[in-house]
């Protein structure tokens, strides 16, 4: 499986600010995914990020709030913009490591608290 | 739309007890099915998977069989350990877009 790292691992932010989360993979992957896990809840997909194209957002998530970059096949960023306490969650990136399969491997997550 | 339903937790067991966590799904077509585990303070780890009907996924003593007739993928382990304490997520792959759809998670606590 791929080795996936995320930065930062956790952060505490003030309302109205923005935070950019980085996801780095140790091998080239086609598809990267960003999920949100709200406290005590399951995971919900925010968007799918493919290199060379704009991210595809799920219903309820918009680019102005969660802009995503995918500059190459090993890296992606997710920005949480104009944060409010409701954005307090764990944000996880995942990859389809083997390409063409449907098995995803997850990073360790970024635990975000918004005050 | 596609969905996954898991038994509610928390589930509390004594060490060496038998574990079953129920998972049923609704899906178009024949998705792959997964169990992920999240240990306290950590990200998700793939525990096992099955890609077609009657497949059995297994890992670390855990097993689950893809049952198309009952649309189920129940997780079992014959003898749990304290180190198995975690949250377990059942998931299916959306065949149209590659995303995973998760159940609500089941917290397992194993007492010595």
- Which residues on adjacent β-strands are paired with residue A44? A36
Q: What angle do CA A85, B100, B88 make, to 5 degrees?
A: 75
Q: Is the peptide bond before A8 cis (omega within 30 degrees of 0)?
A: yes
Distance between CA atoms of residues B79 and B4, nearest Å: 26
In angstroms, the separation between the Cα of residue B105 and the nearest Cα of chain A is: 6
- Can you tell me the mean pLDDT for A98-103? 65
A33-58 per-position pLDDT tens digit? 999 999 888 899 999 998 878 899 99
Kindly report the number of other CB atoms within 10 A of residue B76's CB atom. Answer: 15
CA A108 vs. chain centroid, Å, equals 11
pLDDT per residue as tens digits for the range B4-44? 999 888 999 999 999 999 999 999 888 999 999 999 888 89
What value does the mean pLDDT take over residues B64-93?
96
Please indicate whether, in this complex, the C-beta atoms of B99 and A48 are within 8 angstroms of each other. yes
Over residues A28-32, the mean pLDDT reads: 88
Distance (Å, whole) CA A106 – CA A1: 10
B103 to chain A: closest CA residue:
A42
User: Nearest-CA distance from A73 to chain B in Å?
Assistant: 17
CB contact under 8 A, A48 and B97: yes
Closest Cβ–Cβ partner in B31, B43, B51 for A107:
B43
């Amino acid at each position: 499986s791929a080795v996936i790292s995320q930065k930062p691992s956790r952060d505490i932010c003030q309302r109205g600010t923005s935070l950019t989360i980085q996801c780095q993979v140790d091998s080239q992957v086609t598809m990267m995914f960003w999920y949100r896990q709200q406290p005590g809840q399951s995971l919900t997909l925010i968007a799918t990020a493919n290199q060379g194209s704009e991210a595809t957002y799920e219903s309820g998530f918009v680019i102005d709030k969660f802009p995503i970059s995918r500059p190459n096949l090993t890296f992606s960023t997710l920005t949480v913009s104009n944060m409010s306490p409701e954005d307090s969650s764990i944000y996880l990136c995942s990859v389809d490591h083997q390409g063409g399969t449907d098995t995803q491997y997850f990073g360790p997550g970024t635990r975000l608290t918004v005050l | 739309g596609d969905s996954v339903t898991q038994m509610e937790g928390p589930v509390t067991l004594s060490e060496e007890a038998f574990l079953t966590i129920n998972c049923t799904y609704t899906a178009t077509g024949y998705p792959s099915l997964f169990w992920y585990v999240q240990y306290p303070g950590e990200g998700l780890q793939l525990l096992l998977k099955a890609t077609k009907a009657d497949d059995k996924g297994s890992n670390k003593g855990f097993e689950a069989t893809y049952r198309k007739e009952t649309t189920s993928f129940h997780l079992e382990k014959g003898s749990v350990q304290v180190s198995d304490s975690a949250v377990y997520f059942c998931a299916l792959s959306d065949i149209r877009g590659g995303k995973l759809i998760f159940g609500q998670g089941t917290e397992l606590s194993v007492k010595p």
